[in-house]
Amino acid sequence: MPPVTQALIGLNIVGFALQQLLGPWVTMTFALWPPVPVMPGDAMPFQIWQPVSYAFLHGNLAHLMFNMLGFWMLGRDVEEVFGSIRYLKYYFTCVITAAVAQMLVVVLLDQPPAPTVGASGGVFGLLLAYGMLFPRRRLMLLFPPIPMQARTFVTLYGLIELVLGITGTQSGVAHFAHLGGLVGGFFLLQYWRRRWPFG
């Protein structure tokens, strides 16, 4: 496994372990909180490190395992193509744009403040990169087990996230953070390739 993918998986596991060992304080301090004036009593107001630190925390073991599976399936091939440094820049760009999207939605829609955790925004960015780098490579869904081309999988998954985010069907999931990771990854790839809207 390439070094950055391996390190990111390890850091996510360490972050989750600290959550279990040190209790709610870790989540309250390092999760992503929206920059709003009224916060829950035990929450830390928005801090500059939160748009990065939230990506190393997870809500439960299933959440962690699903994201680490995404790293294992997608990150290896993307890092091999990008190289470690560019891969790291790409991943954290997706993490930060996911955080910005989530905060904008909470502020603009005047939603109650709640902590956002998880590497999903970055993993969705990796999914987009995988689909653009290997568009015809086939991926197998878990539920249902249907093989499809990577570009088709990315398109469908993005549309599903958009619908779920707009309708609020699946509460407690940061769908717009996922979409923010996709959008941030897309524009960074377009910038690197000198394509629309940069060339």
Show which residues are catalytic: 120, 178
Cα–Cα distance between 44 and 39 in angstroms, integer?
8
Helix residue ranges, H only, 23-149: 24-30, 50-53, 61-70, 76-82, 84-108, 120-133
Beta bridge partners of 147: 140
Cα–Cα distance between 94 and 51 in angstroms, integer?
11
CA distance to 11, 78, 102, per residue, from 98 (Å) = 19, 19, 6
Cα–Cα distance between 64 and 196 in angstroms, integer?
35
- Find where tokens 């690197």 sit: 192
- Find where tokens 């929206």 sit: 34
Contact by Cβ (8 Å): 32, 54: yes
Q: Taking the CB of residue 196, how many other CB atoms lie within 10 A of it?
A: 8
